[in-house]
Amino acid sequence: MNRLLIALLLAGPATARTIEVAPGPDAQERLQTALIDAHPGDMVALGAGRFELTEGLSLDVAGVIVAGAGMDKTVLSFDGQKGEGEGLLVTSKDVTVRDFAVENARGNGIKAKAADGISFVRLRVVWTHGPKETNGAYGVYPVSSANVLIDGVTVSGASDAGIYVGQSRNIVVKNSRAEFNVAGIEIENSYNADVFDNVATKNAGGILVFDLPGLPQMGGHSVRLFRNKVVDNDTPNFAAKGNIVAGVPTGTGVMVMANRDVHVFDNDISGNGGNAVMVVSYRQAFTDKSYNPLPRAVVIGANKFGRNGFAPAFEGGKGLAAAVGGTLPNVMWDGVTDYVVPGGATISDADNLKINGNVLNLQLKTQGTPVAKAQPRIDTMTYTEGSQLAAIVLPAAQTARASAR
């Protein structure tokens, strides 16, 4: 992209300003005031140092850039936060947040709701006391948004997912690192996502692609996971009881649940004591007649698998491993092909999984069947590669804003 084009894409209102805010006394009031007073096109520039904050921050002005001096130089510290809300909540469009850190938010680190065109760039979100159930749920948390970019972000210690994208569409997650969270990266109830060149390590589960019932947007589909390092996810699950991710077994590499058209290829997956890749249906009862709990058209392409499956922590895992020689194969499928529409008919769909290689098939057949009734067998599957999912393309203006220094 040439400089003239970048300049045109970045061109904002002629009166666009840079509002500088330094750490120090009254940082809470000065920073929140700057976020309120900002106009579309303005930059709120955070100085180097620690901002000691006692309340969550919010931004509801479109087209604003919030930029620090670097993820290791500008720190928004919420050690003294009084409420339970986010560190920073964004509810406006075309916002870029970049080059700072958020530490120890009582709730989520940075949340963006209904924030089309949101970009998270070179951020660090961390709970500094290590994995704890009382840590905030999500580190970086866009929801109900279109055109989402997460690039160069590091998250550690989230009690749900480090990087979580929910009920959104047209998503890119790249060059990021998630460690010591319950789930490293999670794409949930979302459409069209590319997740690539990330590292997910030392979480309970590395990368999850879920679809859940009872949410405004369901039917998650069209997700590509590629060129990620999903290694050594061995942190004991520390999610609060009752949370859906509390059921993610420690040692899971990649988990795909109830999604359609998920392609997993060119990843480095090793050191995960459970499954390298787990493809499963949603197991719990549900009442939403429009919900499909089955994984469909999940393609496991060529990946680099190291040692996995040596210490499965999920229900019945040790018995399954013993039944197949002591170590689980790299890919496990629950074998569920049927489900009952609440108050209706039984639906069958056998187009669940495509792979060239061996799969541990639990043959549970019907959604909700407990693992204790598994009849494990090793299936050798083959398929002819078909059409590929299209790469995600974000708006040029958004990409330009995110790449500008």
Quote the DSSP letter at residue 47.
P
pTM of the model: 0.94
Q: How many residues does the chain have?
A: 405
Q: Which residues make Cβ contacts (< 8 Å) with residue 38, sequence separation at least 6?
A: 19, 44, 59, 61, 64
The three-state (H, E, C) secondary structure of 286-332, written as one string: CCCCCCCCCCEEEEECCCEECCCCCCCCCCCHHHHHHHCCCCCCCEE
Of 153, 157, 154, 158, the C-alpha closest to 137 is 158
pLDDT attached to residue 83: 80
Beta strands in 138-274 (DSSP E): 138-143, 146-151, 154-156, 161-166, 169-174, 177-179, 183-188, 191-196, 199-201, 205-210, 221-226, 229-231, 252-257, 260-265, 268-270
User: Which segments in the chain show pLDDT lower than 70?
Assistant: 1-14
Q: Which residues make Cβ contacts (< 8 Å) with residue 331, sequence separation at least 6?
A: 275, 276, 277, 278, 279, 300, 353, 355, 357, 358, 359, 360
Q: Which residues make Cβ contacts (< 8 Å) with residue 356, sequence separation at least 6?
A: 381, 382, 383
Q: Which residues make Cβ contacts (< 8 Å) with residue 80, sequence separation at least 6?
A: 52, 53, 54
* Helix pair angle (3-10, 396-403), 10° resolution: 100
In the numeric block, which tokens belong to residue 389?
Answer: 């999912």
Q: At 124, which helix (H) or strand (E)?
A: strand 119-126
In single-letter form, the type of residue at position 405 comes to R
CA 1 to chain centre: 29
Quote the DSSP letter at residue 87.
S
Rg (CA), the chain: 22
pLDDT attached to residue 10: 52
Q: Residue 166 in 3-state DSSP?
A: strand
